[in-house]
Copies of this chain bind each other. A is one copy, B any other.
């Protein structure tokens, strides 16, 4: 596992020198499906996706999985309030990840104010995304959920019309609180309606963004 193999070399002093990816931390490559950290493990490091994609999720006793978030290039993950990771993180595709030792609360107090502010900003954004996720899961139909995900993916990829989705249908289902069959059927229906086009499994073209946006709520 690359994590164990390389991490000992690392002694970055601050959270990426003020959460700026170029400065602190070391790069680690993870293969598709490889675990980056596990739920319950001590949260000693923080992470930023440099390339590829990462999922964080939780598992219930009987195996039900809920994906908490998808993380793409530029996104941070593994930042925790408490001592331990509350989710498991895995690479969805082959990925490069920047890893830095987490700052303690006292480190943070000593630090320049803008680092703390950036961390707060990041946490606030995470909170907002979970609030949106709660509305999606609590009150939206299957079709609205799928449409919401597609719009979100498009926005996060700089409003591309053609999405290269790195995740499987199972990943989508476990993010959307649906089954794989429902996700598949919904995508097929959206294609039949001319709203999207699915040239290959992992590629989705948004043909009618307005119609999709209408479906979002």
- Tell me the A residues contacting B by CB distance below 8 Å: 58, 60-62, 64-66, 68, 80-82, 86-87, 105, 108-110, 113-114, 116-117, 119-121, 123-128, 130-131, 133-135, 137-140, 174-177, 217
Is the beta-carbon distance between B134 and A133 smaller than 8 angstroms? yes
Q: Which 9 A-B pairs have the closest CB atoms?
A: A81-B124, A138-B177, A130-B130, A137-B137, A109-B113, A66-B138, A60-B217, A64-B139, A127-B127
Taking A117-B108, A128-B86, A134-B66 as contacts, is the C-beta distance between A139 and B81 under 8 angstroms?
Answer: no
User: Which of B80, B117, B139 is the one whose CB lies under 8 Å from A105?
Assistant: B117
Task: Pick the most buried of A64, A113, A117, A138: most chain B CB atoms within 10 A of its CB.
Answer: A138
Nearest chain B CB to A88 CB, angstrom units? 13
List the B residue with the shortest CB-CB distance to A65. Answer: B139
- Whole-angstrom CA separation of A66 from B125 in the bound complex: 19
| Chain A contact residues: helix, strand, loop or mixed | helix
User: Which of B110, B113, B135, B176 is the one whose CB lies under 8 Å from A116?
Assistant: B113
- Whole-angstrom CA separation of A135 from B64 in the bound complex: 10
List the B residue with the shortest CB-CB distance to A134. Answer: B133
Is the beta-carbon distance between B66 and A128 smaller than 8 angstroms? no
Is the beta-carbon distance between A68 and B131 smaller than 8 angstroms? yes
Is the beta-carbon distance between A133 and B130 smaller than 8 angstroms? yes
List the B residue with the shortest CB-CB distance to A68. Answer: B131
- Whole-angstrom CA separation of A81 from B118 in the bound complex: 11
Is the beta-carbon distance between B135 and A134 smaller than 8 angstroms? no
Contacts of A60 in B (CB 8 A): 135, 139-140, 217
- Whole-angstrom CA separation of A103 from B109 in the bound complex: 18
What are 15 A-B contacts defined by CB distance under 8 Å? Answer: A60-B139, A60-B140, A60-B217, A64-B139, A68-B135, A81-B125, A87-B131, A108-B113, A108-B117, A109-B117, A116-B117, A116-B120, A123-B123, A134-B137, A137-B138
User: Which of B65, B86, B113, B120 is the one whose CB lies under 8 Å from A119?
Assistant: B120
Nearest chain B CB to A26 CB, angstrom units? 25
